[in-house]
Amino acid sequence: MSTQQPAQQGFTLPYPILIISSILLLIFTVAYAVSIGSVDLSLSQVVSALFCQSSCDINSIEQKIVWDIRLPRVLMALITGAGLSITGAMLQSVTRNPLADPYLFGISSGSALGAVTVMALLPAAVISITFGALVGGAISVALMLTLAGRSASHVERLLLAGVAVSFMLSAFTSLILYYSSPEIAATLLFWMMGSFSNSQWQELWMPYTMVAFGLLLFIIFRRWVSAIQAGDESAHTLGVPVSRLRLGMLIICSAITAVLVAHVGGIGFVGLMIPHICRFIVGAQIHRILVMCLLLGSTFMIWVDVIARSLLEHQVLPVGVVTSAVGSLFFFVILKSRSQQTINK
């Protein structure tokens, strides 16, 4: 026992500290992201805009900027980062594939098809682009599950079905784009690269509900998901209904992704890399990865949005471009330092 105890603490001790510092970082990030923009506000002004009831050191216009423009935008970035990261973490775990990401099953191409259909074929007044993208995403998931069929118990077939669906739907999107006007093509391109610019309060409830619901289910089933990590057959011998669990998790992940993509467009990298970064930091326990993904993913996404709207003056860069550029750089650094650590050991 005496050899046991210090080792135990070795990995439990830093975890609360990590969580607390990540929470603080997230709070600071939100405040900072709200303060920065074409009208610069100080952090204290932001705090008073958020919490002050009367006699505040902020005028009503600034208050309006904070509440109506910046806060919904930051909150949308927050939930997008959090949602894509936990979805990626869950998909990587249930498929035991480190390359799995939320767009695995062609959801982004399905959503793009839905969006472009609405833009090109229907007047936007009838149904919103968001709704079109949502329907497109749902169709891609349904198609993938039909294609994979009863073989959903085999990971490889699921992955291949996802790839097939992705290509099929992209083909339709390209076809519609080919016959539509350049303006629509430009709009779609911008939409697909992702943006938080048009985020509004009334849009926020859906992503938040969906991510909260998904997270709840992920946490409930975390024991079974960790049992899958040592192989399907092995999980079966522990009493886990492997195929049903995997299918259920895939559907939840797809629903979260479809909702997020419909609202902000296709933002890559976050769902693939943040889970790996979190795994580096907190180890392989699924609930720790999920909590860490939630915090780091949202922090990362907000910073990306800050960079996207402040890097060039009077111009907003597509979030997807910044995510990939910043993210991969960050990831290289971590990978490099990790491999050096293992060499030094």
Q: Which residues bind another protein (CB under 8 A)?
A: 1, 3-4, 7-8, 10-11, 92-93, 96-98, 153-154, 219-221, 223-224, 226-227, 229-231, 233-234, 236-241, 279, 283-285
Q: Which is nearer to another protein, 233 or 313 (CB)?
A: 233
Residue 9 CB, nearest approach to another protein (Å):
10
Asked whether the beta carbons of 91 and 253 are under 8 A apart, the reply is: yes
Q: Which is nearer to another protein, 278 or 317 (CB)?
A: 278
Q: SS3 letters for 178-217?
A: HCCCHHHHHHHHHHHHCCCCCCCHHHHHHHHHHHHHHHHH
202 by Cβ neighbours in 10 Å (0-12 / 13-18 / 19+) ranks as exposed
Q: Which residue in 256, 320, 272, 266 sits closest to 108, CA to CA?
A: 266
Residue 6 CB, nearest approach to another protein (Å):
10
Q: Which residue in 212, 211, 213, 246 sits closest to 227, CA to CA?
A: 246
Q: Which is nearer to another protein, 147 or 245 (CB)?
A: 245
Q: Which is nearer to another protein, 68 or 156 (CB)?
A: 156
Q: Which residue in 120, 123, 125, 169 sits closest to 144, CA to CA?
A: 169
Q: Which is nearer to another protein, 24 or 99 (CB)?
A: 99
Q: Which is nearer to another protein, 42 or 241 (CB)?
A: 241
Asked whether the beta carbons of 207 and 259 are under 8 A apart, the reply is: yes
Residue 131 CB, nearest approach to another protein (Å):
35
Residue 145 CB, nearest approach to another protein (Å):
19
Residue 139 CB, nearest approach to another protein (Å):
29
Q: Which residue in 99, 74, 84 sits closest to 274, CA to CA?
A: 84
Asked whether the beta carbons of 161 and 138 are under 8 A apart, the reply is: no
Residue 241 CB, nearest approach to another protein (Å):
6
